[in-house]
Structure 1
Amino acid sequence: MTTASSRDSFHSRLGFVLAAAGAAIGLGNIWGFPTQAANNGGGAFLVVYLIVTFLLALPALYAEIYIGNQAQTNPVSALASACGKRFKSVGHSAGIIGIIGAMMMLSFYTIVAGWMLSHALSSLAELIGLLDLSQWLSTSSTMRNVVFTPIFIVLGAAIVHQGVHSGIERWSARLMPLLLVMLLGLIIYILQQDGAKEGLTLYLVPDFTQVTEPTLVISAMGQAFFSLAIGVGAMMAYGSYMPKGQSVGKLVLSITLLDTFIAFIAGLLIIPALFVAQHSGQEVFIDGHLIGEGQLIFNILPTLFSSMGSIGLLVSFAFFTLLSIAALTSTISSTEVPVAYLIEAKAMNRKRATWLISGIVFIASMLLIAFFEQLFGLVIQLLTTILQPLMSLFYFIVVGWLWKRGNQLTDIAQLNKHTSLKLLAFYLRFICPVLLIFVFINVAF
């Protein structure tokens, strides 16, 4: 077993925040959030999303990071320890389920990330006149998936096997600012195009009569959990690499604010871009719903960018490169979950653990590609609507009820005369489980 003192770790609070935000900021923000917003009332969805993020998703993120930070070990061992002797096996099993969830996420995430990379290269190929190659890169096919999925798996593994500080922290510090700069640059460009104002109005001016729509509320809640990467152990693993004594609450708030900000400004890019496409003659909505939904950005936006000439191809290259970076920062965090377990519980070295996990992910991804119609959507649905909410509920139960018989946060609050921590302990123990059970029942049934 690796001791806490000999474990690799983040070397700065900023490094941790950027890495954890990178784990949270991915395709869920830049791809999923704007699609959900456009389909669910625009501004009304945004209002509900912000409410549920801070009422439910932020406390769940706190619980996950707090468990990892206190235990200073991998998610499986952390949950086993937090559950105490009586429920140790339950905690261990929950940790293993989290690892399975991380592997499930990686199996489909690397496929979608491959699509982003191939579309970025397609724009580049068209720009330099390689039209046949560009057409192949932009057309969905099994062969394209087989080629690009492994590329992304290898990219993620190459960063993770370098370690927490040298790999994850260093690359997150490089990629996150680049992602933000590219996103802001694209927003400035798109907002100058004809039709963008209509999209901006839909997004920023809420229709409050839609705020209480059950489907809108449920969609916003599901998106908040997926967006913050809660429930698969990635945040718990990252939390364990921060020294004890750090203000977990402030760190969690920083991550949530950064993640929510990226989702918000992604909406400022994608939703106006849809209306720019509509203004140029493309059919984007049918009966108020987006054509193709998840596939929308691959169907509508490349056509929009192509219609802009050479500058549009550069914009397309920048846009899909941006999505590739977002996907990569999330991929490395999910990979770290099983890798940390193999290093600490199975005494495996980091390089071997990383490439073993990547090999398993490769096999799982190839299975999804081979049986795409039957498995792809099913795996995503199982992860986001069942496993992630259930794991988050378990974190609340651990922190509020099982850990030192439910007195962990309350004891610390009383010891330090911390009124706000007492309120947080009560909120995590009673309010969050009830809210989450309600969400889970509505999503599942």
Structure 2
Amino acid sequence: MPLAETQNDRADSIDSSPPRSAFSSRFGFVMAAAGSAVGVGNIWGFPTQVADHGGAAFILVYLLMVVVLAYPMLVAEMTIGRMAQKNPVAALGSLSDKPFWKKTGTVVGIAGIVTLSLIISFYAIISGWLLAFTLEPLAKLAGMPGLASWLTSFSTSLNLIAMVAFMALTIHVVRAGVSNGIERWSKKLMPMMFILLLGLVAYIMTLEGAEQGLIMYLKPNFSHILEPSLLVSAMGQAFFSLSLGVCAIMVYGSYLSEKESLPKTAAMVTVLDTSVALLAGLLVIPAMTVAQANGVTIYAASGTLLDSDTLVFTVLPTLFNSMGNAGSIVAIAFFTLMTIAALTSAISMLEAPVNTVCEQLKYGRSRVSIVIGGAVSVVSAIIILNFEALFGLVVTLTTVYGQPLLALLFGLMLTWVLQRDRLLNELKKGCPDMAQSLFWKIWPWYVKFVCPVLMLLVLLK
């Protein structure tokens, strides 16, 4: 039975201590955790990284990074969360009774929450664009060309309004709590997203030029495979895609039932996340070559991908516009897919700081959701008003370097600071035979010794 949901309208009193929320089922957790993992990074970032780094060569390195680095670290974050049944700051501080490690854990937890909040700030801007591009074909169909043009203008006014609209939707879901908000929405949105993705892949494959994209996607260019930029990009993509190193998965792990096997549940989330990334590649890259067949320029003379950061907002809309009325329907479906992916990730990102403030300060979820969401919106607005100077800087610092380093610290604290018997007891809760399993014989030592070396080697290249 799930624990009682935190009531939204309870008094914001420092003395109140409501029962802790929880997911009501494994399916609910997997959908929510996969929703956290599946986001813009999968459907937009992954295909463009593939196109930029040697096609299937990037896919091979990415899959390797998922198996040897991302999955082990995902188990580590989920374990910390479920074992403590607390917010990330308190959870990391509870791994040891020694004052030094308690303070260190607290500092690392705060760093994770700050990094995550910065990620939401730029993520909300991108998600606002996706929301606007979803509405643009509807405005065209309604005979409102002026509104349609404004929705794709990337003007400061559009960026601010669309960002606020997206954040308002995210806040609405998080305010409702874990089972009544996050889990309920995830159970509906994730299946819808898979249906839209599969339908769009099937449709794009029927268009002229899609075959060239399929070849590009599946044929590796091994001359790229040892490039330092490819290795760093693949690792960053794997960590960003699975929401590692920023406390989001740790919070979701704290809501997970003790009856569930952590390694198996983490494997389900990893497989779902990776499957969406691979399917997205089957959609976006053939769509690029279909656009190219229709006269849209995709690559520069040097062979590099043009406007990879804005490809979803430039190349694909041009393709949709060339398809007549059918293009409007396809555009609505595609950007709805993107918006759903963005929303499920943003929900988990906002939940982590909201959960932390609620538990640390004993304030009510409803008020905290609005305050934290409002603060993130202010930071997003500052980035919008100083876009050229701040946007790329924040993205690089948080996703390329911050996330892997924080995930590394989480794993090191779990395996070096936490007593081994406590770790085993937690893993045994969902798997009584854990002590005899191959996973237990390999994973703790692997996270303790091998993952740090591999990550540092990649980052220092």
Q: The TM-score by the shorter chain falls in which range?
A: over 0.9
Percent pairwise identity: 45
**How far 1:436 moved relative to its partner?**
1.3
Structure 2 SS opposite 1:229: coil
The Cα shift of 1:105 comes to 1.0
Pairing partner for 1:119 from 133, 152, 157? 133
Question: Structure 2: how far apart are the matches of 1:254 and 1:107?
Answer: 29
Instruction: State which of 233, 238, 244 in structure 2 corresponds to 1:219.
Output: 233
8 A Cα contact 1:409 1:422, kept in partner: no
- Which of 405, 409, 425 is residue 394 of structure 1 equivalent to? 409
For the Cα contact (< 8 Å) 1:72–1:240, is it kept in 2? yes
Please list every run of 5 or more consecutive structure 2 residues that lacks an aligned counterpart in the other structure.
1-13
1:20 to 24, 33, 36: 33
Please state whether the residue corresponding to 2:260 is helix, strand or coil. Answer: coil
CA distance in 2, matches of 1:195, 1:366: 40
TM-score (norm 2): 0.92
Distance 1:111 1:372 in 2: 10
Instruction: Name which of structure 1's ranges 28-37 and 124-133 shifts more when overlaid on structure 2.
Output: 124-133
Per-residue deviation at 1:245?
Answer: 4.0
User: How many pairs were matched up?
Assistant: 441
Equivalent-residue separation in structure 1 for 2:139 and 2:438 (angstroms)? 59
Q: Which moved more, 1:123-132 or 1:17-26?
A: 123-132
Distance in 1, matches of 2:438 and 2:268, equals 21
Q: Of 104, 112, 116, which aligns to 1:98? A: 112
Distance 1:2-1:91 versus aligned 2 partners, 3 A rule: farther
1:191 lines up with 2:205 in the alignment: yes
Aligned with residue 274 of structure 1, among 285, 288, 291: 288
Structure 1 segments unaligned to the other structure (5+ residues): none
1:53 offset after TM fit, Å?
Answer: 0.5
RMSD (Å) for aligned C-alpha atoms: 1.8
* CA distance in structure 2 between the aligned counterparts of 1:109 and 1:83, rounded to whole angstroms: 34
Aligned to 2:457: 438
Residue aligned with 1:6, SS? coil
The answer to whether the 8 Å contact 1:4/1:73 transfers is no
Find the aligned partners of 2:230 and 2:267 in 1 and give their Cα distance. 25
Paired position in structure 1 for 2:366:
351
Which letter does structure 1 place at the counterpart of 2:445?
Answer: F
Question: What is the TM-score normalised by the length of structure 1?
Answer: 0.96
Shift of 1:57: 0.6
The corresponding residue for 1:335 is 350
8 A Cα contact 2:16 2:362, kept in partner: no
Contact 2:78–2:249 (Cα < 8 Å) also in 1: yes
CA distance in 1, matches of 2:424, 2:171: 40
Does the 8 Å contact 2:128/2:163 carry over to 1? Answer: yes
Question: What is the aligned partner in structure 2 of residue 181 from structure 1?
Answer: 195
| 2:92 aligned with 1:73 | no
Q: Post-superposition shift, 1:410?
A: 5.7
Letter of the 2:31 partner, please give it. L
State whether residues 54 and 222 of structure 2, in contact with CA within 8 Å, keep that contact through their aligned partners in structure 1: no
Contact 2:85–2:254 at 8 Å: present in 1 too?
yes
For 1:362 and 1:421, the matched residues in 2 are separated by 43
Question: For the residues of structure 1 that align with 2:460 and 2:308, how far apart are their CA atoms?
Answer: 24
1:4 Cα deviation after fit: 11
Deviation string, structure 1 residues 224-266 (Cα, Å, up to 9, x no partner): 1111110110000000001224200000000000000000000
Separation in structure 1 between the aligned mates of residue 193 and residue 441 of structure 2, nearest angstrom: 38
Alpha-carbon offset, residue 132 of structure 1: 1.4
Q: Distance in 1 between matches of 2:445 and 2:18?
A: 32
